[in-house]
Amino acid sequence: GIQVEQSPPDLILQEGANSTLRCNFSDSVNNLQWFHQNPWGQLINLFYIPSGTKQNGRLSATTVATERYSLLYISSSQTTDSGVYFCAVDLHTSGSRLTFGEGTQLTVNP
Amino acid sequence: EAQVTQNPRYLITVTGKKLTVTCSQNMNHEYMSWYRQDPGLGLRQIYYSMNVEVTDKGDVPEGYKVSRKEKRNFPLILESPSPNQTSLYFCASSHSGTGDGANVLTFGAGSRLTVL
């Protein structure tokens, strides 16, 4: 099956810093999503981005499908950004068979 | 409010005692799936369903059953739970298409299961 690798596995920042999280995948995909799992365990979709660039406030994401990677940018980080960030991919557009990476654990200190 | 509801949220049980984790969504989504989350392993898909009466195995289906008799419900059944099924379980749903929100998973709040 498709392999998903996320880096770095852990990241510690001071409030206000910027960061870039990376997701590499082993095959062509038609669905790619970024999720944030907060400290209470809730999984929230951040972006659906099989290709191109999107922005939502302080967060933005870019997927270069031809080179099989995606980047999640967090600017001016806040303590509420803490948690685990997951990248998930699917060969199918529907996303019915998403494969998740192991995640990046982000800690933002005040 | 559009949501995926799982119950129970927390459960401690013993080996061999059958249990069901319910999942219901109110968004008329055709796709539903179950994932388990274990430390260091990310989320792994157990089963998925493309629509009513259409289910298929994910990556780790052993020891689990599912059914999809109605579009809104997708229960996860552990016929004879074992300690290696101790995990955090998530149900998710999505719909296909090209409109806003299409192909994006909405997750339930999770169900933490401990099998002694």
Q: What average pLDDT does the segment A1-16 reach?
A: 96
Confidence at B73, pLDDT banded by 50, 70, 90: very high
Taking Cα atoms as reference points, which of A3, A2, A11 lies closest to residue A84? Answer: A11
CB-based contacts of A99, cutoff 8 Å, min separation 6? A1, A2, A3, A4, A88, A89, A90, B45, B59
Chain A residues with CB-CB distance to B under 8 A? 1, 31, 33, 35, 41-45, 48, 86, 88, 93-103
Give pLDDT tens digits for B40-56: 888 999 999 999 999 99
In this structure, are residues A20 and A98 in contact, taking their beta carbons and an 8 Å threshold?
A: no
Question: Could you tell me which chain A residue has the CA closest to the CA of B104?
Answer: A48
- pLDDT for B77 equals 98
Distance in Å, alpha carbon of B48 to nearest chain A alpha carbon: 7
- pLDDT for B55 equals 97
Look over chain B and give the mean of its residue pLDDT values, rounded to a whole number: 95
- Percent of chain A, pLDDT > 90? 95
Confidence at B98, pLDDT banded by 50, 70, 90: confident
